A = this chain, B = another copy of it.
Amino acid sequence: MSEYVNDTLKAILNRKSVRHFSSQEVTKEQLNELVKAGMAAPTTLNCQPWEFIVVTDKEMLSEFAYSLQFGKMIDNAKAAIVVCTDTQKASEKHYDYAIIDASLASENILIAAESMGLGAAWVAVHPKEVAVNYIREKLNIPETIIPLNVIPIGYPTGQDYVKDKYNADVIHWEKW
């Protein structure tokens, strides 16, 4: 058997948190493709509670980099996608479904980026209240909408490596 069964598994297994981006630009078409991948995730009872904000403004990215914990790499990214969720649109208006649905969309974006030769990372916003309020204010996000993360996008320099997290101890067969 080859190391990877197919290209998709290769992308999934090679996805990494990219913190070093080159000067190569990212196109609007690429960003749109990433968001499109996000919207292909499943949502509880197909409620699609997600909203996406795509930021390419250099000054805004720099501000995020200096204001968000663990967000320094946003400064040299070419864009960022902020994945948000709307509890009011979620199944049963349930907070957990809103968070889960937007999380799945975010993971699609991370895998899609890896497959396109781009780098990305999940910089947490929710559930950090200070970060949520900061991003809401900066991007005019309504009070009812939760910004889940900031996902910086750019071409990786190659300085970031994948972590092998395989752990047989957390796999249970048939029962716990």
Chain A residues engaging chain B, CB cutoff 8 angstroms: 5-13, 15, 17, 32-33, 35-37, 39-44, 46, 48, 50-57, 60, 94, 96-97, 99-100, 103-104, 106-108, 110-112, 114-116, 121-122, 124, 126-127, 139-142, 145, 148, 162-163, 165-167, 170-176
Contact = CB atoms under 8 A, between A and B. Distances in A.
Nearest to A103: B103
Contacts of A163: 46
A103 to B, nearest CB: 4
A176 to B, nearest CB: 4
A105 to B, nearest CB: 9
Contact of A141 (B43, B44, B53, B176): B176
B51 A172 contact: yes
B51 A12 contact: no
A166 B36 contact: yes
**Could you tell me the dominant secondary structure of chain A's interface residues?**
mixed
A116 B112 CA distance: 17
Contacts of A9: 33, 37, 112, 115-116
A30 to B, nearest CB: 9
Closest 6 A-B residue pairs measured CB to CB?
A8-B115, A7-B7, A103-B103, A8-B11, A96-B127, A107-B107
B176 A142 contact: yes
B174 A56 contact: yes
A150 to B, nearest CB: 14
A50 to B, nearest CB: 6
Contacts of A40: 12-13, 15, 162, 165
